[in-house]
Amino acid sequence: MDRPRLVVTPASSGGDAAGVSFQKTVLVGARQHGRLLVRHAYSFHQSSEEAGDFLAHADLQRRNSEYLVENALHLHLIIKPVYHTLIRTPK
């Protein structure tokens, strides 16, 4: 079976708004000692990017996989705006 893929693409076909780009982070939860912890964090800076190593070593076929919590994969998505100045000031 193919391993899972994570591809981040923009919601619109245009570029980011003037002076604003977005940093995208995906946190992957895993069960450890009965608690849900962040096991991996993937950051994306480009408008369209694929995580080549996304859960490469996770065994999602086993029912008792640490990555499956109540038979579901837990992902937490964080989208953070990064503001850039549009006006340059003389030095």
Percent of the chain with pLDDT over 90: 0
Average pLDDT over residues 65-84: 83
pTM listed for this prediction: 0.66
Instruction: Provide long-range contacts, Cβ within 8 A and 24+ apart, for 82-86.
Output: 82/20, 82/21, 82/22, 82/23, 83/19, 83/20, 84/19, 84/20, 84/21, 85/19, 86/18, 86/19
Domain boundaries, the chain: 6-83
CA 51 – CA 40 distance, rounded (Å): 12
Higher pLDDT, 65 or 50: 65
Higher pLDDT, 1 or 63: 63
What's the pLDDT score for residue 10?
A: 63
